Structures are given as C-alpha cells and as structure tokens.
C-alpha cells in the first residue's frame, strides 16, 4: 500500500470570481423593495421596450396593470380583462396572454382590442419568440403547446413535464425552458426551424425545500447572457447556460410565495417578482433578455 | 506545502518546460481542448502549473508499434440523450489481435485526450506503455459530450456536457454500455471482464468517470479522475458520504487534484477530492490521491498519465 500524504492545511487562495456565481449578480445594499401592493394574487409579469412593467391580478384584478418606468407609479392599463395568468408583448407590439379564466389564448393591442387565438385550453403561462411563435404551458394536462406565427396549433410536448408552469427562451431562441410545479426539474428542448420541440430533457434541477419532493417551479425569465431565473418555493433559482444551479435569490417574505419574475426598468436591470398581494423589485448587476426590441 | 512522495509516481525528467497556462492556446504543444467548455471564461495563467511537464512516455517513439486512431461518424442517434450529436474516436493498438479480447478505456471529453500533441496524448502514451508491457492491450474510446446542433451551422449549439457528466445516476453508464460499447464491438473484440474496463475524465468528466463505475461496477471498475468535480454542480458532493455508507464496490480509483484548483459556488475542488480520498480509504478501496499544486487544468494529470496508467493496470 502506498503511503499517502494529505494536506491538512490547505492554503486558501482566492481565484477569479466565477461568472456563474449568484454573488456576482446581487448588489450589496440593493434588497427587495416593494413596488406595488394591495392586490390579491399578482402574476403575469412582462416588460416593454421602454422598461415599463406590466402585471395582472389573477384572482381579483380587473385587467393589466402597469408600473411606469419613469414615475414608478402603478395604474390599471387595460380594463375588463380579468383572470390573465401569463403575459408577454410579442414582436408585433401586442400583448399575448394566457387568459386562464376564459381558458383561451388571446392577443391584445395596447388599446385593448382582443383577438382570440385558441380556446378550450387550461393555459397557465406563455412566451413569444421574436419569430412570432408562441409557447404556453397547460399545467393540468402536463402539456406544452405551440401556436406558430401563422396561428397553427401544435401540442409540442405532452406527458413528460410534471405540472409544466413557467416558460422562457434562451437568447438565441433555440432552447425552450419549462419549469415543473409538480417536480424538481426545469426541462429544455431544442427549437427547430418550424418552432417544434426536439431533444427534451430534465436539463436543470431545482433545489428542494427540506422534506419536500417538489420545488414548486413557477414563472421563469431569461437574463441577457442566457441564465434562467425560475421562481420556486425557496426563492428565485438561477441557472447558468450549462443548466447548473448558480444560486437562489431569497424571497422578500420567507413565508410568502413568488410566482412570476421579469426584468424591467430603463436598463432592464430591475428584477421584479410577483409575490402574492405585492410586487417587489430589486436592482441586479445583470439585465433581462425580454423587452428589448 | 504538500508534496507527493511516491517514487513510483514521481515525475519523469522532461525536455518540455515553460508551458504557460493561458486561456487561448499560444503554444503548439498545449491545448485545453478537453476542458475548454468548462474553462472558457476563467482560466488564468498560473505559475504553479509550469512544474508539470510531459515525460518521455508522452513523446512519440518511432521505434514502438504505432496504434491507429479512427474518427467515427458523429453519434447522432442516441436514445439515452435524444437530439444530441457528438464526435468520437477509437484508438486500436498495433498489438490488438481479433482473436484476443482487448481491454477498454473510455475517455470523457475524448477530443482532448485523443490529440497526439495535446496535454494527455493518450494514443502516444498507450503505444509506449503497451510496447513495454506496462499496460495491457487496450482499445481507447474517446467520446465528447453531446451538443444540440441546429439547422444553422453558424449557431452555437447548446452543450449537454454538464447534464451528462455532472448528473448522478446511471444515465451515462447506460449510454456507454447500451449504445457505444456495442457499436465498437461490431468492429473489435472487447473484453467482457469489468476488471479490464476503465474510464477516465477531467473535471466534470472526472466525476462522470466515477459515476459510471459507481453505478455499473459490473461493466467498469477502473477510474481515473483528474481535477474531478466532486462538488455540488448537480449533487456530486454527496459521494464522500455515500461511499462511507455503501457496501464497498470492486473499483480501483485514481484521483488527481491540485491545491490551487477551483473554489467557487459549486464547492472547493481540492477539499472535495481529499474528502473523496478519505472516504475511499475509510471504506477500504484500492485508490490513490495525488494532490499537487496546480490549478484547474490537465497539466499535472497529463504529465503523470503514464505513471497513473501503470498503477491503474497493475494487478
């Protein structure tokens, strides 16, 4: 048997900060700050090109609310659209929405004119690519749907993702990512030229709360360099482009929920979360992918 | 300072020196191919690495029989990793005879190991050691991690490396056992004896090598891990605890790391490798840990690869 020497006193030599570390995104002295309050169940965060934040109040709200990028004030932006759970502005400048209450996918102009794209779906959350392909999750049927830019409907994946919920894209729009509300993975697929999905796999693994088997993955967004931000029971979990968990941003209220996440602000560097009756924002060192034209 | 005091594993003299570690390959002798995915953003020059230089067994010797390296058609029909494509190569030693089953060694991130002017030069080292009878006649399989290519060759395909290498579980073992080994066996006779089958890798490939043998000791029993990522990238930090509480598996494990290796959000590499070694010792494994002074690259592992292989294959 060979003689082994093990060092008992390793020198600790700091290396270059890793670009994937959570500690490189957060700013000391920039904690979560309340941005809006007085709602029942906020959701559907999205951002426009100017950096305004839009959100909904799924359970009690009237329509689409807006936090103004300049004044920080919140107003009802579009009335008479209650029950939207997922929202994004598409390449044509319209809102696209999971109108969960009406079980339909709709497009909405900034003036409130509604076009119905699909009915009879228990839609939860959506993302729209720059090409104009729309993907949405249907949580109870374990399905991910595609509505192509020419309005063709395809079930893009079914039966694999445990309660698919949050949904986002890589910055090259070649990868679709979907969080599991009833599992611990964030799935990823390659997006083919026609918008269909191939090569699905449980690419990212969320950290689980102690004693639980599911991470309660919910709304998701993408940072400009391709990292995925996913809301979970433990907070906002951040994954690098290799699918490795880089860290978890704590919730503002340890007992509260976070269900939707998006970057907004004039530099897209305020991370907003929908946390029950409130919206919180927090300035980060990184910027969001969505919103920019 | 830690010194590895084992004459058998001491480094040979070498004519190559002054290799500088830089993120871009400035010298023709030195490429980071195997590690480039992992290192692309943070490798820095580290003088601690310059002491590790290749010895004579890593130089081409025209007087020994030369094995043959064949690049295989890209593997694109994986059922274990659907949608992926990957490059791979096979090295067959000159001494291979179809009537005699050969030993097998799989190299994760194989594209780096297969290069005869790289950091590891596996075909050269195998030629030299097999000719001297210092390791058995062994067919090497060099296989890269999968990528998801798109229709546009100008787009950078998403890498599946971390998913394949850092994940615990039997997926990668099954990929090798169910897909790759049968493909190689169509052309070459490979041993069925798990004692004759090894797997080697660097960094995430290092933990992958261990995971494959840990999950399937019926198929692979010899492990080489250089700068192995036994850290919490995807849960691999649990191995030291698992090893201590699991019935001893019939594995022979070589670990190399450097005390200046990574310390980041996933963990501390030198501590993790020492933790692995302590657990392997506790559970009675046949193992070696060589803890040098290097950073996160293959220089130390490459320099000592001939000695590592001699130890690994010694009965």
ipTM: 0.88
- CA–CA separation, A189 vs A146, rounded Å? 13
In this predicted structure, what is the pLDDT of residue B19? 33
**Is B252 part of a structural domain of the chain?**
yes
Token duo for residue B277: 């070694």
- CA–CA separation, B285 vs B274, rounded Å? 14
Lowest-confidence range among A59-63, A118-122, B102-106? A59-63
Distance of CA B150 to the CA centre of its chain: 28
A37 in contact with chain B, both atoms CB, cutoff 8 A:
no
Give me the residue from A11, A198, A242 closest to B159, CB to CB: A242
Mean pLDDT of A83-95: 97
Mean pLDDT of B173-182: 98
Mean pLDDT of B289-313: 97
- CA–CA separation, A166 vs A228, rounded Å? 11
- Looking at the DSSP bridge assignments, the partners of residue B158 are B148
Total structural domains within chain A: 1
Q: Please judge whether A199 and B84 are an interchain contact, meaning their C-beta atoms are less than 8 angstroms apart.
A: yes
Q: Please judge whether A15 and B42 are an interchain contact, meaning their C-beta atoms are less than 8 angstroms apart.
A: yes
- Is 90 exceeded by the pLDDT of residue B2? no
**Is A245 part of a structural domain of the chain?**
yes
Q: Please judge whether B158 and A23 are an interchain contact, meaning their C-beta atoms are less than 8 angstroms apart.
A: no
- Percent of residues, chain A, with pLDDT higher than 90: 89
In this predicted structure, what is the pLDDT of residue A22? 86
In this predicted structure, what is the pLDDT of residue B140? 98
Lowest-confidence range among A18-22, A47-51, A202-206? A18-22
Question: Residue A204 maps to which CATH number?
Answer: 2.120.10.30
In this predicted structure, what is the pLDDT of residue A293? 60
Count CB atoms within 10 A of the CB of residue A91: 14
Closest CA to B235 of B172, B169, B191, B282: B169
Which chain A residues are closer than 8 Å to B166 by Cβ?
244
- Is 50 exceeded by the pLDDT of residue B20? no
- Check residue B114 and report its DSSP letter: T
**H or E stretch at A166:** strand A164-169
Size of interface A-B (CB pairs under 8 A): 108
Q: Mutate one of B265, B277, B280, B295 to test the A interface: name it (highest A CB count within 10 A).
A: B265
**Is A57 part of a structural domain of the chain?**
yes
Q: Please judge whether B265 and A13 are an interchain contact, meaning their C-beta atoms are less than 8 angstroms apart.
A: no
**Is B1 part of a structural domain of the chain?**
no
Mean pLDDT of A258-277: 97
Give me the residue from B150, B156, B271 closest to A10, CB to CB: B271
In this predicted structure, what is the pLDDT of residue B315? 87
A18 in contact with chain B, both atoms CB, cutoff 8 A:
yes
The confidence band for B12, taking pLDDT boundaries of 50, 70 and 90, is very low
Mean pLDDT of A234-257: 96
Query: By the 8 A CB rule, do A282 and A238 touch?
Result: no
A237 in contact with chain B, both atoms CB, cutoff 8 A:
no
Question: Which tens digits make up the pLDDT trace of A211-226?
Answer: 999 999 999 999 999 9
In this predicted structure, what is the pLDDT of residue B29? 31
The pTM of the full predicted model, rounded to 2 decimals, is 0.88
Mean pLDDT of A19-29: 85
Which chain A residues are closer than 8 Å to B264 by Cβ?
15, 18, 20-21
Measured in angstroms, the CA of B164 and the nearest CA of chain A are apart by: 9
Q: Please judge whether B259 and A246 are an interchain contact, meaning their C-beta atoms are less than 8 angstroms apart.
A: no
The confidence band for B22, taking pLDDT boundaries of 50, 70 and 90, is very low
A129 in contact with chain B, both atoms CB, cutoff 8 A:
no
Lowest-confidence range among A71-85, A195-209, B15-29, B127-141? B15-29
Burial class (CB in 10 A: 0-12, 13-18, 19+), B208: buried
**Is A4 part of a structural domain of the chain?**
no
**Is A16 part of a structural domain of the chain?**
no
- Is 80 exceeded by the pLDDT of residue B240? yes
The confidence band for B155, taking pLDDT boundaries of 50, 70 and 90, is very high
Q: Please judge whether A22 and B265 are an interchain contact, meaning their C-beta atoms are less than 8 angstroms apart.
A: yes
Which chain A residues are closer than 8 Å to B233 by Cβ?
244
**Is A15 part of a structural domain of the chain?**
no
The residue of chain A with its CA nearest to that of B265 is A21
For B152, the domain range is 7-313
Q: Mutate one of B41, B146, B163 to test the A interface: name it (highest A CB count within 10 A).
A: B163
Q: Please judge whether B291 and A6 are an interchain contact, meaning their C-beta atoms are less than 8 angstroms apart.
A: yes
Token duo for residue A153: 């409907």
Mean predicted lDDT score pLDDT of chain A: 92
The residue of chain A with its CA nearest to that of B166 is A244
Q: Please judge whether A6 and B277 are an interchain contact, meaning their C-beta atoms are less than 8 angstroms apart.
A: yes
Tokens 């990868």 sit on residue = A175
Q: Please judge whether A3 and B5 are an interchain contact, meaning their C-beta atoms are less than 8 angstroms apart.
A: yes
- Is 80 exceeded by the pLDDT of residue B75? yes
In this predicted structure, what is the pLDDT of residue A19? 55
Measured in angstroms, the CA of B290 and the nearest CA of chain A are apart by: 8
Which chain B residues are closer than 8 Å to A243 by Cβ?
162-163
The confidence band for A10, taking pLDDT boundaries of 50, 70 and 90, is very low
Give me the residue from B3, B163, B277 closest to A243, CB to CB: B163
**Is A231 part of a structural domain of the chain?**
yes
**Is B172 part of a structural domain of the chain?**
yes
The confidence band for B32, taking pLDDT boundaries of 50, 70 and 90, is very low
Which chain B residues are closer than 8 Å to A160 by Cβ?
none
**Is B2 part of a structural domain of the chain?**
no
Distance of CA A111 to the CA centre of its chain: 25
- Percent of residues, chain A, with pLDDT higher than 70: 93
Mean pLDDT of A130-146: 98
Total structural domains within chain B: 1
Mean pLDDT of A90-110: 97
Question: Which tens digits make up the pLDDT trace of B209-237?
Answer: 999 999 999 999 999 999 999 999 999 99
Question: Residue B57 maps to which CATH number?
Answer: 3.40.50.1820
Phi, psi at B215, each rounded to 5° = -75, -35
Mean pLDDT of B21-36: 35
Residues 6+ apart with CB under 8 A from B62: none
Counting other chains too, the contacts that A161-165 makes at CB distance below 8 Å and 24 or more residues apart are A161/A137, A161/A185, A161/A187, A162/A214, A163/A139, A164/A124, A164/A137, A164/A138, A164/A139, A165/A124, A165/A125, A165/A137, A165/A139, A165/A217, A165/A218, A165/A219
For A110, the domain range is 22-283
- Percent of residues, chain B, with pLDDT higher than 90: 84
In this predicted structure, what is the pLDDT of residue A16? 37
Q: Please judge whether A200 and B83 are an interchain contact, meaning their C-beta atoms are less than 8 angstroms apart.
A: yes
Pairing of strands B103-108, B197-202: parallel
Measured in angstroms, the CA of A10 and the nearest CA of chain B are apart by: 7
Q: Please judge whether B151 and A192 are an interchain contact, meaning their C-beta atoms are less than 8 angstroms apart.
A: yes
Give me the residue from B83, B162, B289 closest to A242, CB to CB: B162
A225 in contact with chain B, both atoms CB, cutoff 8 A:
no
A148 in contact with chain B, both atoms CB, cutoff 8 A:
no
A8 in contact with chain B, both atoms CB, cutoff 8 A:
no
Query: By the 8 A CB rule, do A168 and A228 touch?
Result: yes
The confidence band for A20, taking pLDDT boundaries of 50, 70 and 90, is confident
């Amino acid at each position: 048997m060979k003689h082994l020497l093990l060092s008992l006193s390793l020198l600790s030599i700091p290396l270059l900060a890793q670009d994937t570390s959570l500690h490189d995104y957060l700013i000391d002295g920039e904690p979560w700050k309340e941005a809006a309050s007085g709602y029942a169940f906020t959701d559907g965060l999205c951002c426009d090109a100017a950096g305004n934040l839009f959100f909904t109040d799924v359970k009690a709200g009237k329509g689409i609310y807006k936090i103004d990028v300049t004044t920080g004030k919140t107003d009802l932006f579009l009335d008479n659209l209650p029950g939207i759970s997922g929202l994004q502005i598409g390449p044509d400048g319209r809102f696209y929405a999971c109108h969960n209450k009406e079980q339909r996918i709709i497009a909405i102009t900034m003036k409130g004119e509604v076009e119905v794209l699909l009915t009879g779906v228990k839609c939860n959350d959506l993302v729209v690519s720059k090409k104009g392909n729309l993907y949405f999750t249907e949580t109870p049927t374990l399905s991910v749907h595609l509505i192509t830019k020419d309005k063709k409907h395809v079930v893009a994946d079914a039966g694999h993702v445990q309660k698919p919920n949050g949904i986002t894209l890589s910055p090259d729009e070649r990868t679709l990512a979907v969080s599991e509300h009833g599992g611990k993975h964030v799935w990823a697929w390659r997006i083919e030229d026609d918008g269909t999905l191939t090569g699905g796999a449980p690419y990212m693994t969320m950290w689980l709360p102690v004693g639980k088997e599911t991470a309660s993955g919910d709304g998701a967004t993408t940072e400009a360099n391709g990292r995925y931000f996913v809301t979970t029971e433990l907070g906002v979990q951040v994954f690098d482009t290799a699918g490795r968990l880089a860290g978890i941003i704590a919730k503002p209220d340890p007992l509260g929920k976070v269900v939707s996440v998006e970057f907004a602000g004039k530099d897209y560097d305020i991370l907003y979360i929908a946390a029950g009756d409130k919206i919180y924002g927090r300035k980060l060192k990184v910027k969001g992918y969505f919103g920019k034209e | 300072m830690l010194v590895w005091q084992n004459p058998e594993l001491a480094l040979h003299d070498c004519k190559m020196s002054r290799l500088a570690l830089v993120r871009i390959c400035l010298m023709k002798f030195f490429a980071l191919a195997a590690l480039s995915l992992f290192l692309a953003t943070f490798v820095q020059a580290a003088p601690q690495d310059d002491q590790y230089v290749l010895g004579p067994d890593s130089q081409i010797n025209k007087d020994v029989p030369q094995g043959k390296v064949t690049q295989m058609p890209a593997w694109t029909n994986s059922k274990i990793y659907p949608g992926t494509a990957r490059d791979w190569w096979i090295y067959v030693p000159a001494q291979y005879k179809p009537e005699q089953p050969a030993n097998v060694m799989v190299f994760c991130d194989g594209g780096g190991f297969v290069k005869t002017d790289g950091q590891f030069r596996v075909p050269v080292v195998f030629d030299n050691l097999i000719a001297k009878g210092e390791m058995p006649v062994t067919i090497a399989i060099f296989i890269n991690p999968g990528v998801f290519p798109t229709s546009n060759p100008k787009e950078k395909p998403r890498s599946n490396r971390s998913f394949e290498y850092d994940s615990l579980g039997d997926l990668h073992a099954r990929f090798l056992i169910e897909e790759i080994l049968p493909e190689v066996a169509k052309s070459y006779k490979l041993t069925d004896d798990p004692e004759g089958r090894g797997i080697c890798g660097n960094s995430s490939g290092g933990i992958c090598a261990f995971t494959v043998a840990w999950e399937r000791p019926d198929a692979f029993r010899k492990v080489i891990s250089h700068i192995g990522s036994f850290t919490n990238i995807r849960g691999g930090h649990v191995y030291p605890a698992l090893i201590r509480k699991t019935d001893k598996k019939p594995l022979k494990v070589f670990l190399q790391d450097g005390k200046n290796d990574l310390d980041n959000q996933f963990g501390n590499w030198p501590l993790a490798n020492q933790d692995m070694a302590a657990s392997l010792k506790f559970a009675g494994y046949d193992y070696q840990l060589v803890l040098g002074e290097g950073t996160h690259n293959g220089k130390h592992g490459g320099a000592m690869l001939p000695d590592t292989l001699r130890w690994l294959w010694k009965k």
